[in-house]
Amino acid sequence: MRSSIRQFVEMADYDDERRLKLEQLQLNMEKTKTEIELTKIAIRKENGDEEDEFEDDGFLEALKGTEVDWDE
């Protein structure tokens, strides 16, 4: 299936609505994976396991459309 999706993306016009929807779905999946990982880190931190290092670089805010100053 992934191969078929990859082939579709390669063949579809750049402005093809289906391609844009597919890219949006892929970005939403990545966002969800990131949010899950952040939640896991927060839970481990609450339980006293702080070996994971996490620096909030504003990525999630940028995904939500909030303006982020990346130069800080």
pLDDT tens by residue, 21-61: 888 888 999 999 999 999 998 888 888 876 655 566 667 66
- Measured distance CA(6)–CA(15) in Å, rounded: 16
**Radius of gyration, CA atoms only, the chain:** 17
> Is the overall model pTM greater than 0.75, yes or no?
no
For the chain, the distance separating the N- and C-terminal CA atoms, rounded to the nearest angstrom, is: 41
Residue 49's contacts (CB-CB under 8 Å, 6 or more residues apart) are none
